[in-house]
Structure 1
Amino acid sequence: MKKQAGWLIYKREDAAKNKGYIDWMLDEANTLDLDLHIYHREDLRIGHRFNELYVEHMLGPLSLPAFAIVRTIDPFFTRQLEQMGIACFNSSFVSEMANDKAKTHQHLSALGIPMTDTVYCNGRPTSKDMEFPFIAKETGGRGGKQVYLIENNADLAQLNDGNWIVQKPGRFGQDIRVFVVGNQVQAAVLRESASSFKANYTLGGTASLYELTSHDLALVEKVIEAFDFGLVGIDFIFAKDGSLMLNEIEDVVGSRTLSALSDMNIVREYLTFIKERISSF
């Protein structure tokens, strides 16, 4: 049987930083009889000619794959591939919603999912948006970057122009990341920091495996039902009373913390999910 062909797409700079992860993906794909090839986003050009969409590699034609694992944030590009019949993981809809914090909260606001009070700012935040202290986040920020604790007007003055949301803070220095493949919860990690209100592992925080309660799982499943995920991290913060509130969804999620804390092979789980999904088309 012919192997199913797939593309693994990264920006060139990100590919250099994630070589180990890419090699892991390529090795696991091979064991699952998937013909996976790495492409840099900068080398792929999209458009339409004669009223037909196309994608080219370094200006040359390409044989289209059955699927693409898009590890860069470019929902417009992903949508092009989808419209050409390529199954994309994550989808353009997940990419668009997850990589804009305002859209994430807006999309989920009607589902009864607990979230901290949020203002979608018209430009840079001001003292009129919310009473101090509050958290200011650029809507497109990732990995805990472009997230600031605002306690006074001097803090506000340090913010750049851009698209922002502001939120009432939860419990500082703690959050939960739930790793999800398809509609299945794989694991959860508690991230903590004693020195910052941000708990991100990559910013110097610590991490440990976390056991979700039945109430927690029901909350996660509510989020899952609103999307068609491939692989994501769903992040929750703690309210003052210790309950969970949705914080954000990480589309191009890494698994460094999970790999450090367990022997789970989440890449194999992800690729197995993709293989089963494309086989059902």
Structure 2
Amino acid sequence: MRITDIVAVDIEHETRRNCALLPYQQVLIALQYYASGTFHIIVGDPLQISQSTACRSIHRVSTSLAQKIDDFVKFPNNAEAQGIKDEFFQIAQFPGVIGCVDGTHVWIISPHEHKVDFVNRKGYHSINVQVICDANGKWINIVARWPGSTHDSRMLRSSTIWNIMENGQTSGYILGDSGYPCRNWLMTPLLQPHGAAEQRYNSSHKRTRVLVEQSIGRWKRRFHVLHSENRMRNPENTCRVIAATAVLHNIAIDLNESLVDDIEPGQQQPHLLEYQGPHNGHRERSVFINTHFND
């Protein structure tokens, strides 16, 4: 009912002509689809509605939720950042962290156009999604528009977050894996740590950044449409569903909705591609390690 209240104005039909579905019925259909990822005709069976009606309901609810993403997925400003830094510090004593970034692939069927662009490094068609989470596992940024062949570092470089952090609009650090460039604000792990300080840095970095991997796992487990093959032929519709489930993910955390079948740390697929481009944050990282991890 909370979700229905959020989208009702956008999805309510003007009349009940032809037994038009009520807002809460459309929401139930969409939630069934997000949770199962199954065929639309199967989703519509409990209400005895046609495949086309189920498809329209899913589209209307997804569009409404996606349009409201800025109300639920918000990157912190400087005033909000300090509280996030304190919460992250409690995890593994890594100071100054405002978010953890990662990419994840959402499997799709072969689109009608630009098929090759959507083939990822594992050989299947997908949308590559960038997510950044806070210390509670909520999304504070999501980019869901890039085809599967796009590298994570390119997505980040092309995002508004890159400009925000490069220009110093929000102070703090974002933690990324070795697939990202080391920047003054983007802390990546050392590939060959030397000495106790660097090892402590890597350990703290790993224990903190694993939160984004766990959050992706919970997100996909709650909304199986992100985990199984998405059967929408149009990638734009898939991106709309991804955005809608991101909103629902944050709402679930706000409402303390538990996920019984949870995941254990480290179950996400590790990043296999090391970033090969230029870095400009190595000096910043060395000073940071000497300041915070050197006894």
- Ranked by relative contact order (alpha carbons within 8 Å, sequence separation 6 or more), the top structure is 2
Compute the TM-score of the two structures, normalised by the length of structure 1.
0.23
The structure in which a higher percent of residues are helix is 2
Greater strand fraction, Structure 1 or Structure 2: 1
